Structure 1
Amino acid sequence: MSIQLAEKAKNAWDKMITRLEGWLDALIVNLPNLIIAIVVFSLSLILSKYISRLVLKVLKKSKLQPSMRNLISKIVSIMIVLLGLFLILGILNLSKTLNTVLAGAGVAGLAVGLALQGALANTYSGIVLSYIKNIKFGDWVTTNGYEGEVVDIDLRAVTLKEVDNNLVYIPNKLVVEKPIKNHSITDQSRVIVNCGVGYGSDLRKVRDIVVQVIVDNFDYVNKAEDVIFLYREFGDSSINFETRFWINSKSGLEVAKAKTEAIILIKDAFDENGINIPFPIRTMNFPEVLKIEQK
């Protein structure tokens, strides 16, 4: 029994030695290819960094968002490194491994694509938004029920900073599919003020007072013709009107401030001239003789 175990151990040892010698021979034979592969990999890393910086420098001349410029440069860098890895597999005569990797990548890519449909849609939408000239960092926009300044556009979402300084992250897909209003395209913004006066008011006098208040207090309004004054309807408790004028600003916040100032000034002018801004009231008619029964 001991002799048989000794023979098995000796056979196993001989096989291991033979295998190691084969590996050593293969290493010596493929040593030049291994050195070339290391050199190619090092060059691919260096080249990826250089080309990434070059692409970023070129993209700075475009109108792409900064986040997208960095992303594109990184993608180019990764592609160069992957190309270097494929060359290394070819140098080391690992073509079968290369085919296996490519086949596995195809299957994995299909599975990932099906699992991440929403994320991929946002990524594609983010690329689309980066090429749209009418939306960029610093613009004041309204979309999907939110209004604010565009502070970032990446592959996932558009980030808006609202008036209250809170950040809203809107998925790119929703921004692309839904209407978007950009308040910063032109150098001017329109201010609209709605109000109402009592039925006993002199409507011509009301119009003249409101127009004069706007002309006297807003620099961009030079004459009465620059102010649009419209009576809109006979309301339940008041005759309602709308006043429109322009200010020299792109910011939605500045529009809100101008509207606030206009409301204050119009209210002060109405108080000085005895013009009433009524609040909703209800009139109740009682018979001339009102009987009160006591129990």
Structure 2
Amino acid sequence: MNKVIEKLEDWKDIFIKNIPNLAIALVVLIIAYFASRGMNKIVNRTIGRRISQKSVRDLVSRVASAITILVGLYLAMTVLKFDDTLKTIVSAAGVSGIVIGLALQGTLSNTISGVVLSFRRNLNIGNWVETSGYSGEVMDINLNYFVLKEADNNMVVIPNKTILESPFKNYSLTTKMRISIECGVEYGADLEKVEELTKKTINSNFDQDEIGKTVEFYFTEFGDSSINFLCRFWVDSENALEKLKAKSKAIIEIKKAFDAADINIPFPMRTLEFVPNNKLNLAQIKEQETEKESS
């Protein structure tokens, strides 16, 4: 009992001696707590102008808040002269961090990739992009995955790491797209008339002067049954669906113009030759069928 009493008295003396340090450490922790809340709001408001994803904004603001708390905790433990204890905690946290990092390597990679994608100016929600074999509108950039809505209204969920490591095409970065149409006309057609009619048809349906571009027309080859040409023109478009609609309209109008001008678009034909006097008569055919059945 005497040893216990002596130990308690020693602890009492140490406690009384360190009351000023305890008070300072408590004040530091209280200040760190309110500072972390303020930091959370400031960071959330600051990055909200650049990041539209609420989950990413919350992540960044929470990290900033946690760092503020850790700084306050470090200062409080320094005031209390717990340097040895602090070193032990940091060492244990380092080992635990390595183990957790290895176990959650894929998840952490997607999370970091999501943060990086959120800060990219050339990729935003609402853009029409094509990546990893999929094409559609960007619906969400979350911390773990990337969501696309395809033209058929299906949702595609892609890991952020895949998006970050793969090239992608963003149709929304430009307001103009060039469309290419390949076709062929019969060998007897007037090629100069074909070129003039095609350019006139495109210009009448797609105003190239307003866009500041011109229609390009080139004959490309002598085909098996046609002389082929390539026509390129520009349209105001920010996604692949509008480009597809414009190409469809151009094909319809060119076909109408060619039909009105009696310009034929050749297509493959197959000729069937019927022999009037077949060498095999009906008796021979029946005989062959009987032989097959008996065998």
Question: Normalising TM by the smaller chain, what interval?
Answer: 0.7 to 0.9
Shift of the alpha carbon at 1:214? 0.9
> What are the Cα deviations for residues 184-238 of structure 1, in whole angstroms up to 9, with x where unaligned?
3333111222334445544433332222111111134569x81112333444554
Identity of aligned residues (%): 43
- Corresponding residue to 2:39 among 35, 38, 51: 51
Instruction: Find the aligned partners of 1:288 and 1:216 in 2 and give their Cα distance.
Output: 52
**Number of residue pairs aligned between Structure 1 and Structure 2:** 278
Over the residues paired in the alignment, what is the CA RMSD in angstroms? 3.7
Shift of the alpha carbon at 1:123? 3.8
Counterpart of 1:152? 140
Counterpart of 1:98? 86
Counterpart of 1:65? 51
Shift of the alpha carbon at 1:157? 3.3
> What are the Cα deviations for residues 38-91 of structure 1, in whole angstroms up to 9, with x where unaligned?
543333222112122223344356xx4333554322211111122233344445
Question: What is the SS of the residue equivalent to 1:164?
Answer: coil
Shift of the alpha carbon at 1:19? 11
Instruction: Find the aligned partners of 1:26 and 1:202 in 2 and give their Cα distance.
Output: 110
Decide whether aligned partners of structure 1 residues 100 and 244 sit closer, same or farther in structure 2, where only a CA change above 3 A counts: same
Q: Does 1:273 align with 2:273?
A: no
Q: Does 1:245 align with 2:227?
A: no
Q: Which amino acid aligns with 1:76?
A: A
Instruction: Find the aligned partners of 1:244 and 1:287 in 2 and give their Cα distance.
Output: 45
Shift of the alpha carbon at 1:183? 2.1
Instruction: Find the aligned partners of 1:268 and 1:287 in 2 and give their Cα distance.
Output: 36
Structure 2 gaps of 5+ residues are: 285-295
2:208 touches 2:215 (CA, 8 Å); kept in 1? no
Decide whether aligned partners of structure 1 residues 233 and 94 sit closer, same or farther in structure 2, where only a CA change above 3 A counts: same
Moved more, 106-115 or 30-39: 30-39
Decide whether aligned partners of structure 1 residues 71 and 163 sit closer, same or farther in structure 2, where only a CA change above 3 A counts: same
Counterpart of 1:257? 245
Decide whether aligned partners of structure 1 residues 196 and 171 sit closer, same or farther in structure 2, where only a CA change above 3 A counts: farther
- Corresponding residue to 2:206 among 189, 196, 218: 218
Counterpart of 1:293? 280
Moved more, 146-155 or 75-84: 146-155
2:146 touches 2:159 (CA, 8 Å); kept in 1? yes
Query: TM-score, normalised on structure 2?
Result: 0.74
Counterpart of 2:290? none
1:221 touches 1:247 (CA, 8 Å); kept in 2? no
Question: What is the SS of the residue equivalent to 2:147?
Answer: strand
Moved more, 201-210 or 29-38: 29-38
1:220 touches 1:248 (CA, 8 Å); kept in 2? no
- Corresponding residue to 1:117 among 100, 105, 108: 105
Decide whether aligned partners of structure 1 residues 32 and 283 sit closer, same or farther in structure 2, where only a CA change above 3 A counts: farther
Counterpart of 2:172? 184
Q: Does 1:74 align with 2:62?
A: yes
1:220 touches 1:246 (CA, 8 Å); kept in 2? yes
Counterpart of 1:135? 123
Instruction: Find the aligned partners of 2:10 and 2:183 in 1 and give their Cα distance.
Output: 91
Question: What is the SS of the residue equivalent to 1:229?
Answer: strand
Query: TM-score, normalised on structure 1?
Result: 0.74
Instruction: Find the aligned partners of 2:7 and 2:263 in 1 and give their Cα distance.
Output: 104
Counterpart of 1:85? 73
Shift of the alpha carbon at 1:259? 1.4
